[in-house]
Chain A
Amino acid sequence: MSQREEVLARLRAARGAAPAAPAAVPRDYRRAGAEADLDLLVHRLTDYRATVHRCTDDAVAEVVDAVLGGRRIVVPPGLPRRWLPATVTAVTDDALGTDQIAALDGVVTAAALAVAETGTIVLDGAPDQGRRVITLLPDVHVCVLRAEQVVAGLPDAVARLDPRRPLTWISGPSATSDIELNRVEGVHGPRNLHVVLLPPGTAR
């Protein structure tokens, strides 16, 4: 008997007669559909030590300049170039090696969506967000978010996301609770997370 057949046979014997259909799960928790609260998102992000900048699309480059001016950064191939100030040296990720990415100071991306209730941004690898590695190795991550991308809660996010894409859910900078169960920011991921929140009605 192969290991596969062995495991499945054991589980079938243990479980007993198979049920006909999936069981009904009571889903009377808050479902998707509530309106997203931008102020709540800002509060949640700030509470977990992310820095939030609220500005219009044409001021994004100023924010990037303030955060990363004079530094070398990586950007995904689909990032709107208008967000980049002349003061940064932007290297487009064109299958860069990890050592090359690790040597850069920061990264600027867009996002797939954000969850207000938990202060979470989600990246899904779209061209304006890029490969997972580029938002991992540099120490500063600037993430630009349109107001329409903000959803109220987790169920809204799950409903909108495509699980076939590689997803990275980010809630604040890298942190640990491993020392005396106190949250300390700054371990392996970017130690600085800046979220730029654009007002409703901003064009892509």
Chain B
Amino acid sequence: MSRTFLGMPATAPRGVGHLRGDEPFPAAARRALADPQLRRNLGHATTTIRAKSGAVIAELPDWQQLRAAGSAIKADVLARLPELLEQLELAVTAAGGTVHWAADAVEANRIVTELVAATGSDRVIKVKSMATQEIGLNEALEAAGITSVETDLAELIVQLGDDRPSHILVPAIHRNRAEIREIFLRAMPGVDPALTDDPAALAAAARRYLRETFLSTPVAVSGANFAVAETGTLAVVESEGNGRMCLTLPETLITVMGVEKVVPTWQDLEVFLQLLPRASTGERMNPYTSMWTGVTPGDGPQAVHLVLLDNGRSAVLADEVGRQALHCIRCSACLNVCPVYERTGGHAYGSVYPGPIGAVLSPQLTGVADNASLPYASTLCGACYDACPVKINIPELLVHLRDRAPHPRAEAAAMAAAAYVMDHPALYTAAQRAARLSRLAGRRGRGLPPPLSGWTASRDLPEPPPRTFRQWWAQR
């Protein structure tokens, strides 16, 4: 979508943020597949998390009922989104917070930059947040002379390694402990040169490195996992305590949140706090969850801001089939079970939202033409749908988006011709015969012409049978 009209649903603008890749998925995947270390790291990590998550989900006798409730709450949210956001705004404001609205990444970056600049600080500490990655906030702050320090361990690994995140939950999933040690030794100021690759030692190094920064930085930027419309309560779910540091120590807290993260009632959290950790890190409960409602005098940040972000979400909402992608609670279970993600990793998807959810969310946020290869980055095996804690029917969405994606002309012509032939049995029978003859004629060749050569590059084709089933049936 190149033009936007005032007050009409719009996709995320080009030229800002990280929703579009530089190349189509198959090309990027091809490179990733050739990296044996990456393959090994991904295989190990996804296998580990699948086992952990499966075990803690099996502990709950009512997992399916929780999924159904979570899905229904999210559908209700989308049906009442404008009203719930207004309710949230009222509640946050009443509790002493300030609410800002951003139609797109450019606006959100401007708002945050101005808020930080107003504090006089040239540094912010950040809790891992998909929304701020999506809009490219770090780059925008840097352009304004403000340093962002990512405090989540995986984000820190990515930032120190001058790398890109490849997973929603564990952005450095593509790195193993030995690689992380090397990154720390190379890029972490003041690191102990005797650092080992023991994960506990690596975590301790991050603790030492960030402690002073936590204590001395007056502004933090966070995302939010949930925002409760009726109370104005925001929630951040985390593990390490870096979230608590950012949400507790600074004077000013700026939270950037996609509009779909709002939930109607406080009670709704009893559903999502059960779904998210078990589907995400495979824990009964993540180590730390922080909840705050506006400002608490004398405890924590005394200037609390909430930036509500559209950036293409209205365009997703406008698609009655596609909007269920906005149910997503960013648990990344679909990545961990996806056979495609497990082999290619997240970078191949181009967007900050990789894996199955990324394949249906990114093209909708940007307009499908800007991420046209992503809906095809799936075998439609359905593992993602089974794993999704809020029951997003990702295979259905993939097919829906494939229908809306721009189609190569030759393919479209072939598909139309095939449909025509298959709707005319006489032509169909003739085509079966012709296919057999051409296969027999070509049997001395090494395979098929492009694009079908993709098949014969690694697999043999079956011998054409002596006769088709319908010939057998006619003759019996």
Contact = CB atoms under 8 A, between A and B. Distances in A.
Contact of A7 (B153, B259, B300): B259
Nearest to A3: B101
A174 B288 contact: yes
Contacts of A171: 283-288
Interface residues of A, number: 76
B244 A188 contact: yes
Given A164-B95, A188-B214, A6 B317 contact: no
Contacts of B314: 7, 10-11, 13-14
Contact of A118 (B65, B210, B284, B291): B284
Given A30-B62, A166-B299, A167-B290, A182 B317 contact: no
For the residues of B in contact with A, the DSSP-based class is helix
Contacts of B313: 11
B378 to A, nearest CB: 22
- Which of the four size classes fits the interface of chain B? 35 or more
Nearest to B64: A29
Contact of B228 (A32, A163, A175, A178): A163
A174 B200 CA distance: 12
Interface string A6-35: 111111111100110011111111101000
Nearest to B50: A181
Nearest to B310: A7
A19 B78 CA distance: 11
Interface string A159-179: 100011111111111111111
B79 A168 contact: no
Contacts of B190: none
Nearest to B81: A11
Given A7-B259, A177-B170, A170 B69 contact: no
A168 B244 contact: yes
Interface in B61-104: 61-62, 65-66, 68-69, 72-73, 75-76, 78-83, 85-86, 95, 100-103
A69 interface: no
Contacts of A71: none
Interface of B: 6-10, 41, 44-46, 48-49, 52, 61-62, 65-66, 68-69, 72-73, 75-76, 78-83, 85-86, 95, 100-103, 107, 151-154, 157, 169-170, 172-173, 176-177, 180, 199-200, 202-204, 206-207, 210-211, 214-215, 228, 231, 233, 239-242, 244-245, 247-249, 259, 264, 266-271, 273-274, 281-293, 296, 298-300, 308, 310, 313-318
13 contacts: A7-B85, A29-B65, A48-B283, A120-B285, A131-B300, A159-B270, A174-B239, A174-B287, A175-B287, A176-B203, A180-B44, A181-B173, A183-B283
Given A7-B314, A187-B239, 20 more contacts: A7-B259, A28-B68, A28-B69, A29-B271, A29-B274, A44-B284, A125-B296, A136-B245, A136-B248, A136-B249, A174-B239, A175-B240, A177-B239, A178-B157, A179-B202, A180-B45, A180-B176, A180-B199, A181-B281, A182-B48
